[in-house]
Amino acid sequence: MARTDRPLRIATRKSALALWQANYVKAELEKAHPGLAVELVPIVTTGDKILDVPLAKVGGKGLFTKEIEQALVEGRADLAVHSMKDVPTQRAPGLVLAGTGVREDVRDAFVSRRVGSVDTLPPGAKVGTSSLRRQAQLLHLRPDLQIVSIRGNVETRMRKIEELGLEGVILAAAGLRRLGFAERITQYIPASVSLPAIAQGSLGLEARLDDALTLERIAIFHHEPTQVAVTAERAFLARLEGGCQVPIAGLATLEGGRVTMEGLVGSVDGKRIIRDRGEGPKEQAEAVGRELAERILDAGGRAILAEVYQTGGPR
C-alpha cells in the first residue's frame, strides 16, 4: 500500500518524448490533487541502450518497458507512463494497466524537405523508418522504394534525412505533435495507406495492483473511447502473439456503443497484405479483436508471421 506522506514517483524513459508524456501526467495529477507532490524517476531501458541495431533484429518483447516495470515491482516507483504501443500484452505479475487518457492523432506522418507525399516520391527513393509495419505497407504501395532502417529519438530520426540522403522519414504523428514538431509534418498518411501500430498515440499508466491510493489518483485518466479501442487492438495483438516490432497493424474506434476495428498482417517485403475488419458492441471489445485476428490468421496471416519469425524476426 502506498504511503500518503511521500511524493508519487513516476518511472519513465529519458527520451524527450517519454519525458514529455511523464510531465504531462505529472501536471494533470498535481492539478487534480492539490498538494500532491509528483517526482519523475528516469530509467534507461534495453531498447534505449541498443541504438545501432534495427529493432526487428534485437528481438524480444518489452524492450522499452521491462526495466520500468521492474522499478514498480521493487517499489522504486509508484506509477509508470508508457507509450502504449510499446507495452507487451502480457503483464508482469502484480501490475495493472489502469489508465489510458485521451488518445492523440493515431496516424503515421511523412516528414520530408523536398517531397509532398509518399505518393509523389520519385522512383527508387530512399525512405527511413524503424518499423517493419510501416515498411511492409509502404512497399506494398511503392515496391520500388528503398527502405533505410533508422533508430533514435524523434529529432535524431528527422536529422537522418540530411545525414543519410533520404527523401523523407515516417514517424508517428502523435510524437511529432507532442514535441512541438507538427509544422515539420509534410503529410498525415491516411490509415488506408499506413494502418497504425496497435495503440499508437495512446498513453499507458501502469501501477501495482495492491497500491489502492495510486490507482485512485490516476482514475482521472479514464477515457472510454480510448480504453475500448485500445482493448480491442491489444486483444488482436495478443491473439497474433506479436510485439511492436512485427508487421502487424490495427485501429479500432468507438461510435454509438459499437467498436469497429481494422487489422492487418503484412510480409516484410510488402508483397502480401492480409487486411480485414470486425465490429461488435463495446462490451465485447476483446472478442472483436480476437475474432478479427483469427480471420486474418486463417486468411494467410499465420504463414506470414511464421516466415517473419523463421528469418530471425522478433519474438
Which of the residues are catalytic?
86
Longest pairwise C-alpha distance within the chain: 62
Q: How far is Cα 248 from Cα 292, in angstroms, rounded to an integer?
A: 12
First-residue to last-residue Cα distance in the chain: 35
| Residue whose entry in the numeric block shows the C-alpha cell 475488419 | 277
Question: Cα dist. 110→107, 113, 116, 282 in Å?
Answer: 10, 10, 9, 32
Query: Which one, of 56, 19, 83, lies nearest residue 150 by Cα?
Result: 56
Strand partners, 95: 208
Q: At what angle do helices 16-32 and 154-163 cross, to 10 degrees?
A: 150
Find the angle CA(65)-CA(177)-CA(181) to the nearest 5 degrees.
Answer: 110
Strands 203-208 and 79-83, sheet pairing: antiparallel
Q: How far is Cα 103 from Cα 87, in angstroms, rounded to an integer?
A: 15
| Residue whose entry in the numeric block shows the C-alpha cell 519523475 | 40
How many CA atoms within 13 Å lie on the side-chain side of 78?
22
| Residue whose entry in the numeric block shows the C-alpha cell 498535481 | 30
At 125, give phi and psi (nearest 5°).
Answer: -60, 150
SS3 211: coil
